[in-house]
Protein backbone atom coordinates (compact mmCIF):
# COMPACT_ATOMS: atom_id res chain seq x y z
CA UNK A 1 0.00 0.00 0.00
CA UNK A 2 1.44 3.34 -1.03
CA UNK A 3 1.71 6.24 1.41
CA UNK A 4 -0.20 9.27 0.20
CA UNK A 5 1.10 12.85 0.09
CA UNK A 6 1.69 14.31 3.56
CA UNK A 7 1.32 18.00 4.36
CA UNK A 8 4.34 19.89 5.72
CA UNK A 9 2.85 23.38 5.39
CA UNK A 10 -0.13 24.66 3.36
CA UNK A 11 0.65 23.94 -0.28
CA UNK A 12 3.83 22.02 0.56
CA UNK A 13 3.66 18.23 0.64
CA UNK A 14 6.04 15.35 1.18
CA UNK A 15 6.07 12.69 -1.51
CA UNK A 16 8.37 9.74 -1.94
CA UNK A 17 8.99 6.29 -0.57
CA UNK A 18 10.03 4.75 2.72
CA UNK A 19 12.40 1.87 2.02
CA UNK A 20 12.04 -0.08 5.26
CA UNK A 21 14.07 -3.11 4.27
CA UNK A 22 17.04 -1.78 2.29
CA UNK A 23 20.20 -2.84 4.10
CA UNK A 24 23.03 -1.52 1.92
CA UNK A 25 23.58 1.70 -0.01
CA UNK A 26 26.01 2.08 -2.91
CA UNK A 27 26.95 -1.56 -2.27
CA UNK A 28 29.02 -0.12 0.58
CA UNK A 29 27.14 1.76 3.31
CA UNK A 30 25.15 -0.27 5.89
CA UNK A 31 21.58 0.87 6.43
CA UNK A 32 20.66 -0.42 9.90
CA UNK A 33 17.40 1.60 9.84
CA UNK A 34 16.59 1.48 6.12
CA UNK A 35 16.15 4.80 4.33
CA UNK A 36 13.66 7.06 2.61
CA UNK A 37 13.66 8.88 -0.72
CA UNK A 38 12.03 12.25 -0.19
CA UNK A 39 10.46 14.35 -2.94
CA UNK A 40 8.39 17.47 -2.32
CA UNK A 41 5.41 19.08 -4.06
CA UNK A 42 5.02 22.86 -3.90
CA UNK A 43 1.79 24.52 -5.09
CA UNK A 44 1.77 28.10 -6.35
CA UNK A 45 -1.09 30.24 -7.59
CA UNK A 46 -0.54 29.29 -11.23
CA UNK A 47 2.09 26.53 -11.31
CA UNK A 48 3.14 23.49 -9.32
CA UNK A 49 6.67 22.19 -8.77
CA UNK A 50 8.01 18.75 -7.95
CA UNK A 51 11.32 18.88 -6.08
CA UNK A 52 13.32 15.71 -6.84
CA UNK A 53 11.98 12.25 -7.56
CA UNK A 54 12.91 8.87 -6.05
CA UNK A 55 15.05 5.85 -6.77
CA UNK A 56 13.84 4.07 -9.90
CA UNK A 57 12.98 1.00 -7.80
CA UNK A 58 10.37 3.11 -5.96
CA UNK A 59 8.93 5.13 -8.83
CA UNK A 60 5.54 3.40 -8.77
CA UNK A 61 4.94 4.77 -5.25
CA UNK A 62 5.73 8.28 -6.46
CA UNK A 63 3.44 7.95 -9.49
CA UNK A 64 0.53 6.86 -7.29
CA UNK A 65 1.04 9.88 -5.06
CA UNK A 66 1.08 12.20 -8.08
CA UNK A 67 -2.32 10.82 -9.06
CA UNK A 68 -3.80 12.76 -6.13
CA UNK A 69 -2.16 16.08 -7.06
CA UNK A 70 -2.46 18.73 -9.79
CA UNK A 71 -0.22 18.42 -12.85
CA UNK A 72 3.46 19.22 -12.45
CA UNK A 73 4.67 22.29 -14.35
CA UNK A 74 8.26 22.37 -13.07
CA UNK A 75 10.55 19.53 -11.99
CA UNK A 76 13.54 20.56 -9.88
CA UNK A 77 16.48 18.16 -9.83
CA UNK A 78 18.71 18.99 -6.88
CA UNK A 79 21.17 16.16 -7.47
CA UNK A 80 21.91 13.87 -10.41
CA UNK A 81 22.57 10.74 -8.34
CA UNK A 82 20.04 8.07 -9.21
CA UNK A 83 18.48 7.66 -5.77
CA UNK A 84 16.97 11.12 -6.37
CA UNK A 85 16.88 11.31 -10.16
CA UNK A 86 16.04 7.69 -11.01
CA UNK A 87 12.35 8.36 -11.63
CA UNK A 88 12.96 11.53 -13.67
CA UNK A 89 12.43 9.86 -17.08
CA UNK A 90 9.04 8.51 -15.98
CA UNK A 91 7.99 11.86 -14.48
CA UNK A 92 9.02 13.79 -17.59
CA UNK A 93 7.16 11.32 -19.78
CA UNK A 94 4.05 11.78 -17.67
CA UNK A 95 4.27 15.59 -17.87
CA UNK A 96 5.57 16.32 -21.40
CA UNK A 97 5.16 20.09 -20.99
CA UNK A 98 6.99 20.33 -17.67
CA UNK A 99 10.41 21.96 -17.65
CA UNK A 100 13.30 20.37 -15.78
CA UNK A 101 15.54 22.80 -13.91
CA UNK A 102 18.85 22.03 -12.25
CA UNK A 103 22.34 23.44 -11.73
CA UNK A 104 24.58 23.98 -14.79
CA UNK A 105 26.73 20.98 -13.91
CA UNK A 106 23.67 18.78 -13.42
CA UNK A 107 22.39 19.89 -16.82
CA UNK A 108 25.44 18.21 -18.34
CA UNK A 109 25.33 15.15 -16.09
CA UNK A 110 21.67 14.13 -16.17
CA UNK A 111 21.54 13.21 -19.91
CA UNK A 112 24.65 11.08 -19.37
CA UNK A 113 23.18 9.20 -16.41
CA UNK A 114 19.58 8.85 -17.59
CA UNK A 115 17.53 8.82 -20.78
CA UNK A 116 16.69 12.52 -20.71
CA UNK A 117 16.48 14.82 -23.72
CA UNK A 118 18.95 17.69 -23.10
CA UNK A 119 16.38 20.03 -24.68
CA UNK A 120 14.11 19.43 -21.67
CA UNK A 121 16.75 20.68 -19.24
CA UNK A 122 17.24 24.29 -18.14
CA UNK A 123 20.17 25.32 -15.95
CA UNK A 124 19.48 27.84 -13.19
CA UNK A 125 21.98 30.17 -11.54
CA UNK A 126 22.76 30.38 -7.85
CA UNK A 127 20.19 32.73 -6.32
CA UNK A 128 17.87 32.60 -9.35
CA UNK A 129 14.16 32.58 -8.55
CA UNK A 130 11.26 30.83 -10.23
CA UNK A 131 7.75 32.24 -9.82
CA UNK A 132 4.93 29.75 -9.24
CA UNK A 133 2.30 32.50 -8.99
CA UNK A 134 2.42 34.33 -5.68
CA UNK A 135 5.07 31.92 -4.41
CA UNK A 136 8.67 31.75 -5.55
CA UNK A 137 11.42 29.16 -5.38
CA UNK A 138 14.98 30.44 -4.96
CA UNK A 139 17.79 28.08 -5.96
CA UNK A 140 20.82 27.69 -3.72
CA UNK A 141 23.87 26.02 -5.23
CA UNK A 142 25.50 23.53 -2.81
CA UNK A 143 28.51 22.12 -4.69
CA UNK A 144 30.18 19.13 -3.04
CA UNK A 145 27.27 18.32 -0.78
CA UNK A 146 28.17 15.70 -1.80
CA UNK A 147 28.51 15.79 -5.61
CA UNK A 148 29.76 18.81 -7.58
CA UNK A 149 26.37 19.60 -9.15
CA UNK A 150 24.21 19.56 -6.01
CA UNK A 151 21.88 22.44 -5.25
CA UNK A 152 18.98 23.16 -2.91
CA UNK A 153 15.79 25.22 -2.98
CA UNK A 154 14.61 27.94 -0.59
CA UNK A 155 10.89 28.64 -0.18
CA UNK A 156 10.86 32.11 1.33
CA UNK A 157 7.21 32.48 2.35
CA UNK A 158 7.39 29.39 4.57
CA UNK A 159 11.15 29.63 5.29
CA UNK A 160 11.67 26.02 4.20
CA UNK A 161 15.08 24.87 3.02
CA UNK A 162 15.17 21.83 0.73
CA UNK A 163 18.94 21.00 0.81
CA UNK A 164 18.86 17.60 -0.91
CA UNK A 165 21.34 15.25 0.83
CA UNK A 166 22.71 17.89 3.20
CA UNK A 167 21.32 17.51 6.75
CA UNK A 168 19.78 14.16 5.76
CA UNK A 169 19.82 10.73 7.36
CA UNK A 170 19.35 7.15 6.26
CA UNK A 171 16.38 6.41 8.49
CA UNK A 172 13.07 4.84 7.59
CA UNK A 173 10.43 6.11 10.00
CA UNK A 174 6.66 6.40 10.08
CA UNK A 175 6.92 9.91 11.55
CA UNK A 176 7.16 12.72 9.00
CA UNK A 177 8.88 15.13 11.38
CA UNK A 178 12.06 14.59 13.38
CA UNK A 179 11.06 16.73 16.37
CA UNK A 180 13.81 16.47 18.97
CA UNK A 181 14.25 12.70 18.57
CA UNK A 182 17.93 11.93 19.37
CA UNK A 183 17.76 8.87 17.10
CA UNK A 184 17.44 11.18 14.10
CA UNK A 185 20.59 13.10 15.08
CA UNK A 186 22.47 9.83 15.55
CA UNK A 187 21.32 8.64 12.11
CA UNK A 188 22.34 12.02 10.67
CA UNK A 189 25.79 11.63 12.26
CA UNK A 190 26.22 8.26 10.56
CA UNK A 191 25.10 9.85 7.29
CA UNK A 192 27.46 12.80 7.70
CA UNK A 193 30.39 10.54 8.58
CA UNK A 194 30.02 8.24 5.58
CA UNK A 195 28.88 10.67 2.91
CA UNK A 196 29.51 14.30 3.84
CA UNK A 197 32.69 14.31 5.95
CA UNK A 198 35.13 14.23 2.99
CA UNK A 199 33.76 17.62 1.88
CA UNK A 200 33.94 19.42 5.22
CA UNK A 201 35.50 22.60 3.81
CA UNK A 202 32.65 23.11 1.35
CA UNK A 203 30.03 22.10 3.91
CA UNK A 204 31.20 24.74 6.37
CA UNK A 205 30.29 27.43 3.81
CA UNK A 206 26.93 25.78 3.14
CA UNK A 207 26.22 25.60 6.88
CA UNK A 208 26.91 29.33 7.19
CA UNK A 209 24.48 29.98 4.36
CA UNK A 210 21.81 27.87 6.03
CA UNK A 211 22.31 29.71 9.31
CA UNK A 212 21.95 33.05 7.51
CA UNK A 213 18.67 31.91 5.96
CA UNK A 214 17.30 30.88 9.35
CA UNK A 215 14.95 28.11 8.17
CA UNK A 216 11.88 27.15 10.14
CA UNK A 217 11.98 23.74 8.45
CA UNK A 218 14.77 21.77 6.79
CA UNK A 219 13.41 19.13 4.40
CA UNK A 220 16.26 16.85 3.22
CA UNK A 221 16.08 14.15 0.59
CA UNK A 222 16.62 11.29 3.05
CA UNK A 223 15.15 10.76 6.49
CA UNK A 224 12.65 12.73 8.58
CA UNK A 225 11.92 16.42 8.02
CA UNK A 226 13.56 18.71 10.58
CA UNK A 227 10.71 20.77 12.01
CA UNK A 228 12.99 21.89 14.86
CA UNK A 229 16.10 22.60 12.76
CA UNK A 230 18.20 24.02 15.58
CA UNK A 231 19.11 20.44 16.53
CA UNK A 232 20.56 19.41 13.16
CA UNK A 233 22.23 22.80 12.64
CA UNK A 234 23.87 22.60 16.06
CA UNK A 235 25.03 19.06 15.32
CA UNK A 236 26.60 20.08 12.01
CA UNK A 237 28.35 23.01 13.73
CA UNK A 238 29.92 20.55 16.15
CA UNK A 239 30.92 18.00 13.51
CA UNK A 240 32.42 20.62 11.24
CA UNK A 241 33.90 23.18 13.62
CA UNK A 242 34.70 21.60 16.97
CA UNK A 243 38.22 20.27 17.58
CA UNK A 244 38.72 16.51 17.98
CA UNK A 245 38.18 14.82 21.32
CA UNK A 246 40.81 13.24 23.53
CA UNK A 247 39.92 9.93 21.90
CA UNK A 248 41.63 7.18 19.92
CA UNK A 249 39.77 5.10 17.38
CA UNK A 250 41.61 1.79 17.44
CA UNK A 251 40.98 -0.71 14.65
CA UNK A 252 42.40 -4.20 15.04
CA UNK A 253 42.78 -7.35 12.98
CA UNK A 254 44.86 -10.24 14.28
CA UNK A 255 45.61 -13.69 12.88
CA UNK A 256 47.43 -15.50 15.69
CA UNK A 257 46.88 -13.22 18.66
CA UNK A 258 50.11 -11.20 18.70
CA UNK A 259 48.63 -8.03 17.22
CA UNK A 260 45.53 -8.40 19.37
CA UNK A 261 47.74 -8.53 22.46
CA UNK A 262 49.54 -5.38 21.33
CA UNK A 263 46.21 -3.61 20.81
CA UNK A 264 45.15 -4.63 24.32
CA UNK A 265 48.37 -3.27 25.83
CA UNK A 266 48.00 0.02 23.94
CA UNK A 267 44.37 0.33 25.02
CA UNK A 268 45.25 -0.17 28.68
CA UNK A 269 48.12 2.32 28.50
CA UNK A 270 45.91 4.94 26.85
CA UNK A 271 43.15 4.45 29.41
CA UNK A 272 45.66 4.78 32.23
CA UNK A 273 46.56 8.21 30.86
CA UNK A 274 42.97 9.39 30.59
CA UNK A 275 42.62 8.91 26.82
CA UNK A 276 39.29 7.48 25.66
CA UNK A 277 39.54 4.47 23.35
CA UNK A 278 36.93 3.30 20.87
CA UNK A 279 37.98 -0.16 19.61
CA UNK A 280 36.85 -1.79 16.37
CA UNK A 281 37.25 -5.30 15.02
CA UNK A 282 38.23 -4.63 11.42
CA UNK A 283 36.97 -8.05 10.32
CA UNK A 284 33.38 -7.09 11.27
CA UNK A 285 33.02 -4.65 8.38
CA UNK A 286 30.88 -2.10 10.26
CA UNK A 287 31.75 0.90 8.11
CA UNK A 288 28.92 2.99 9.58
CA UNK A 289 30.09 2.72 13.19
CA UNK A 290 33.75 3.18 12.31
CA UNK A 291 32.97 6.28 10.26
CA UNK A 292 30.82 7.74 13.04
CA UNK A 293 33.62 7.26 15.57
CA UNK A 294 36.06 9.05 13.26
CA UNK A 295 34.00 12.27 13.29
CA UNK A 296 35.61 13.49 16.52
CA UNK A 297 38.64 11.21 17.05
CA UNK A 298 41.96 12.84 17.91
CA UNK A 299 44.08 9.85 16.87
CA UNK A 300 43.50 6.85 14.62
CA UNK A 301 45.42 3.68 15.50
CA UNK A 302 45.56 0.73 13.09
CA UNK A 303 46.74 -2.54 14.61
CA UNK A 304 47.43 -5.15 11.96
CA UNK A 305 49.73 -8.08 11.18
CA UNK A 306 51.82 -8.28 8.04
CA UNK A 307 50.47 -10.37 5.15
CA UNK A 308 52.19 -10.70 1.74
CA UNK A 309 54.73 -8.12 2.84
CA UNK A 310 52.09 -5.51 3.64
CA UNK A 311 49.18 -4.84 6.02
CA UNK A 312 46.45 -7.40 6.45
CA UNK A 313 43.79 -6.78 3.73
CA UNK A 314 41.16 -5.80 6.32
CA UNK A 315 43.51 -3.13 7.65
CA UNK A 316 44.32 -1.97 4.13
CA UNK A 317 40.61 -1.68 3.35
CA UNK A 318 40.01 0.31 6.54
CA UNK A 319 42.90 2.62 5.69
CA UNK A 320 41.46 3.19 2.21
CA UNK A 321 38.09 4.11 3.72
CA UNK A 322 39.64 6.40 6.34
CA UNK A 323 41.69 8.13 3.66
CA UNK A 324 38.56 8.75 1.61
CA UNK A 325 36.52 10.03 4.55
CA UNK A 326 39.23 12.56 5.53
CA UNK A 327 38.41 12.85 9.24
CA UNK A 328 39.79 15.70 11.33
CA UNK A 329 42.06 13.44 13.46
CA UNK A 330 45.44 14.99 14.14
CA UNK A 331 47.52 11.82 14.46
CA UNK A 332 47.83 8.29 13.07
CA UNK A 333 49.59 5.36 14.74
CA UNK A 334 50.43 1.96 13.25
CA UNK A 335 50.98 -1.09 15.45
CA UNK A 336 51.56 -4.68 14.41
CA UNK A 337 53.39 -7.96 14.40
CA UNK A 338 55.21 -9.67 11.53
CA UNK A 339 56.78 -13.07 10.94
CA UNK A 340 59.93 -12.31 8.94
CA UNK A 341 59.63 -8.86 7.36
CA UNK A 342 57.60 -6.53 5.21
CA UNK A 343 56.48 -2.95 4.81
CA UNK A 344 53.12 -2.84 6.54
CA UNK A 345 53.68 0.60 8.06
CA UNK A 346 54.94 2.15 4.82
CA UNK A 347 52.05 0.76 2.80
CA UNK A 348 49.48 1.91 5.35
CA UNK A 349 51.10 5.33 5.27
CA UNK A 350 50.72 5.43 1.50
CA UNK A 351 47.06 4.38 1.74
CA UNK A 352 46.46 7.22 4.21
CA UNK A 353 48.38 9.78 2.20
CA UNK A 354 45.45 12.15 1.67
CA UNK A 355 44.84 12.70 5.37
CA UNK A 356 46.39 15.73 7.05
CA UNK A 357 47.28 13.79 10.18
CA UNK A 358 50.78 13.50 11.63
CA UNK A 359 52.14 9.94 11.52
CA UNK A 360 53.61 8.82 14.83
CA UNK A 361 56.56 6.37 14.86
CA UNK A 362 55.11 2.86 14.33
CA UNK A 363 55.46 0.03 16.83
CA UNK A 364 56.22 -3.20 14.93
CA UNK A 365 57.52 -6.39 16.49
CA UNK A 366 58.71 -9.72 15.19
CA UNK A 367 56.50 -12.46 16.56
CA UNK A 368 54.85 -12.17 19.96
CA UNK A 369 55.16 -8.91 21.91
CA UNK A 370 57.56 -9.04 24.88
CA UNK A 371 58.79 -6.55 27.46
CA UNK A 372 60.42 -4.27 24.90
CA UNK A 373 57.22 -4.12 22.84
CA UNK A 374 55.17 -3.33 25.94
CA UNK A 375 57.58 -0.51 26.76
CA UNK A 376 57.29 0.88 23.21
CA UNK A 377 53.50 0.75 23.36
CA UNK A 378 53.53 2.57 26.70
CA UNK A 379 55.73 5.24 25.14
CA UNK A 380 53.34 5.53 22.19
CA UNK A 381 50.40 5.96 24.57
CA UNK A 382 52.31 8.64 26.45
CA UNK A 383 53.07 10.48 23.21
CA UNK A 384 49.42 10.40 22.16
CA UNK A 385 48.26 11.65 25.57
CA UNK A 386 50.83 14.47 25.51
CA UNK A 387 49.90 15.57 22.00
CA UNK A 388 46.19 15.56 22.82
CA UNK A 389 46.83 17.60 25.97
CA UNK A 390 49.03 20.07 24.09
CA UNK A 391 46.24 20.57 21.55
CA UNK A 392 43.74 21.20 24.34
CA UNK A 393 41.51 18.30 23.36
CA UNK A 394 39.12 17.28 26.11
CA UNK A 395 37.45 13.98 26.85
CA UNK A 396 33.92 15.27 26.34
CA UNK A 397 32.39 17.92 24.16
CA UNK A 398 31.32 21.12 25.91
CA UNK A 399 27.81 22.33 24.99
CA UNK A 400 27.81 24.59 21.97
CA UNK A 401 25.74 27.74 22.00
CA UNK A 402 23.74 28.40 18.85
CA UNK A 403 24.00 32.08 17.91
CA UNK A 404 23.20 33.39 21.32
CA UNK A 405 20.73 30.70 22.34
Region 294-310: what's the mean pLDDT?
97
pLDDT reported for residue 401: 45
325 three-state secondary structure: helix
What is the pLDDT confidence band of residue 217, given thresholds at 50, 70 and 90?
A: very high
| Mean of per-residue pLDDT scores for the chain | 95
Region 396-400: what's the mean pLDDT?
58
pTM listed for this prediction: 0.94
The Cα–Cα gap between 38 and 48 comes to 17
Would you list the DSSP string of 257-309?
SHHHHHHHHHHHHHHHTT-EEEEEETTS--HHHHHHHHTT-SEEEEE--EETT
Residue 64 DSSP label: H
Q: Give the alpha-carbon dihedral of 249, 250, 253, 258, to 10 degrees.
A: 180
Contact present, 51 and 40 (Cβ < 8 Å): yes
Q: Give the alpha-carbon dihedral of 391, 397, 402, 403, to 10 degrees.
A: -20
- 33-80 confidence digits (pLDDT tens): 999 999 999 999 999 999 999 999 999 999 999 999 999 999 999 999
Contact present, 269 and 302 (Cβ < 8 Å): no
The Cα–Cα gap between 263 and 344 comes to 16
Q: Please report, rounded to a whole number, the percentage of residues in the chain having pLDDT higher than 90.
A: 92
- 228-273 confidence digits (pLDDT tens): 999 999 999 999 999 999 999 999 999 999 999 999 999 999 999 9
Contact present, 219 and 162 (Cβ < 8 Å): yes
Would you list the DSSP string of 162-220?
E-TTTT------S-SB-TT-HHHHHHHHHHIIIIIGGGHHHHHHHHHHHHHH--SEE--
Contact present, 42 and 155 (Cβ < 8 Å): yes
Burial classification of residue 286, based on how many CB atoms lie within 10 Å of its CB (0-12 exposed, 13-18 middle, 19 or more buried)? middle
Q: Domains for the chain: give ranges and CATH numbers.
A: 6-241 (3.60.15.10), 247-391 (3.40.50.360)
What is the pLDDT confidence band of residue 341, given thresholds at 50, 70 and 90?
A: confident
pLDDT reported for residue 318: 95
The Cα–Cα gap between 170 and 186 comes to 10
Q: Is the pLDDT confidence value at 326 over 70?
A: yes
Q: β-strands 358-359, 306-307: how paired?
A: unpaired
Contact present, 149 and 79 (Cβ < 8 Å): yes
pLDDT reported for residue 1: 47
pLDDT reported for residue 351: 96
Over its C-alpha atoms, the chain yields an Rg (Å, rounded) of 24
Q: Is the pLDDT confidence value at 29 over 60?
A: yes
Which distant-in-sequence residues (6+ apart) come within 8 Å of 296 by Cβ? 239, 242, 244, 245, 247, 328, 397
pLDDT reported for residue 113: 95
Which distant-in-sequence residues (6+ apart) come within 8 Å of 41 by Cβ? 5, 12, 13, 14, 15, 48, 49, 50, 51, 69, 72
What is the pLDDT confidence band of residue 397, given thresholds at 50, 70 and 90?
A: low
Amino acid sequence: MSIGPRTIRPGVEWLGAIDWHRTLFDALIPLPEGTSYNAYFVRGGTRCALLDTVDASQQDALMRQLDALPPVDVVVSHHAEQDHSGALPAVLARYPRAELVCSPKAARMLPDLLEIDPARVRAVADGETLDLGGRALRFVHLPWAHWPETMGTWLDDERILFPCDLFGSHRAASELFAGDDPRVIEAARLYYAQIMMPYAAALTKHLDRALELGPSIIAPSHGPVHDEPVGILRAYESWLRDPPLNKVVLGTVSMHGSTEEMASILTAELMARGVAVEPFDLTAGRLDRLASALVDAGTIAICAPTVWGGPHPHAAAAAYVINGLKPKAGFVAVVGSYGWGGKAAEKLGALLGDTEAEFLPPVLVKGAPRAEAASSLAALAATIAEKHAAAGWTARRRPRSHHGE
